[in-house]
Amino acid sequence: MCDKHSDDIYSAYRDELIAAGLLIPLGVGGLYGRSGTFEHIVDQFEYLITRRGAYQKPEVMRFPPMFSRTHYEATGHLKNFPDLIGSIHSFEGNERDHRDMMASFEGERGWTSHLVASDMMLVPAACYPLYPTATGTLPQGGRCVDLKTFVFRHEPSPDPARMQIFRQREYVRLGSADEAFAHRNTWLETGKEMLEAVGLDVAAVVANDPFFGRGGKVMKATQVEQVLKYELVVPICSTEKPTAVSSCNYHLDHFGHAFGILTADGQPAHSACIGFGLERITLALLKKHGFRLETWPREVRQVLEMA
């Protein structure tokens, strides 16, 4: 939990972004519209990602920000991150039920008790919708997939980099343990080089996911001990507490078992991914280089192919 001083630092940057019209507040913490300038930076960094990943000749897939509740349950996310989930609820009643709902409209969210869970969940990580589509045997050499979607995590915060809904661009590798591990390590170096090339002060750190509850402490320790996750962190609001803008994860064969994904020799597939947080990278660039793109260093503009 952030202390008041930390909240002030994050709130100050958020307010600067809003005053400059780069972020558009939407009445809920961590929920924003973005300006054309903001989106231009996102687009140009995304183009850099595409150029750097082209050598892998990845399959390109784009998923909506929601997926099947059944598929969600198979990921194990509910067990580990219940505090972050987003469930989609809808009204399925008749006219009488609607009258009852409207009668409770003036109450403290009383009308929401008339909604029921749909068969959809909000996507918590860009790679999650991929795995249910990959059931079966992989081709020799596995698969590399280029993904992007909006993802949702319920963690409202004054920190503009901790949005509740944001975009992830990922490269995912499905294959043998060696193939997945090599993918994670190669992209760790490539991602670091990319962020340095646009003028950001970046460090690679061993990290863990925010597993929930008592069992989460064991999961965190295991993840760190096995060095399954790295984050690329850069200072945005704080140099003492830099922000993760990218993560490189080796999942072992978790998703291979969960979704029946097999290597060509019949073993449960391993997987690894790099995920780029597009909003966080854009916020880091704006913090480092300023709000006027024409004043950014020439070498940074060249890397991003900005006119």
CATH number at residue 14: 3.30.930.10
Based on the fold, state whether residues 106 and 177 are members of the same structural domain.
Answer: no
The reply to whether 153 and 250 lie within a common domain is yes
User: What pLDDT score was predicted for residue 109?
Assistant: 65
Give the Cα separation of 108 and 79 in Å (integer). Answer: 29
pTM greater than 0.85: yes
> Model confidence over 95-121: pLDDT tens digits?
999 998 998 887 666 899 999 999 999
Do residues 131 and 164 share a domain?
yes
Q: Are residues 263 and 288 in the same domain?
A: yes
The two tokens of residue 82 are: 């219940």
**237 and 174 together in one domain:** yes
What is the arithmetic mean of pLDDT over 260-271? Answer: 97
**Could you tell me if 98 and 196 lie in one domain?**
no
Q: Is the pLDDT of residue 2 over 60?
A: no
Same domain for 155 and 20: yes
User: 236 and 189 in one domain?
Assistant: yes
Q: How far apart are CA 123 and CA 100, in angstroms?
A: 31
In this prediction, residue 1 carries a pLDDT of 38
Phi, psi torsion values for 241, nearest 5 degrees: -125, 75
Give 219's pLDDT tier (boundaries 50, 70, 90). Answer: low
Percent of the chain with pLDDT strictly greater than 90:
85
Which of 231, 225, 226 minimizes the C-alpha distance to 187?
A: 231
Shared domain for 150 and 271, answered yes or no, is yes
Same domain, 116 and 167: no
> Mean of the per-residue pLDDT values for the chain?
93
What is the mean predicted confidence (pLDDT) over 243-271?
97
144 and 64 part of one domain: yes
**pLDDT average, residue stretch 211-224:** 63
Return the pLDDT at 208: 72
Whether residue 111 is found in the same domain as residue 198: no
- Give the whole-angstrom CA distance, residue 151 versus residue 173: 19
Output DSSP code: residue 211. Answer: -
185 contacts 116 by C-beta, under 8 angstroms:
no
* pLDDT value at residue 54: 97
Query: Which residue, among 243, 242, 239, has the nearest Cα to 280 in the 3D structure?
Result: 243
The answer to whether the CB of 176 falls within 8 A of the CB of 263 is yes
- Write out pLDDT tens, residues 8-38: 999 999 999 999 999 999 999 999 999 999 9
Q: Is the dihedral of CA 284, 288, 294, 299 positive or negative?
A: negative
Structural domain including 238 reads: 4-68+75-86+124-303
For residues 152-179, give the mean pLDDT: 96
Alpha helices in 164-295 (DSSP H): 177-197, 213-225, 254-259, 278-289
If one counts the domains in the chain, the total is 2
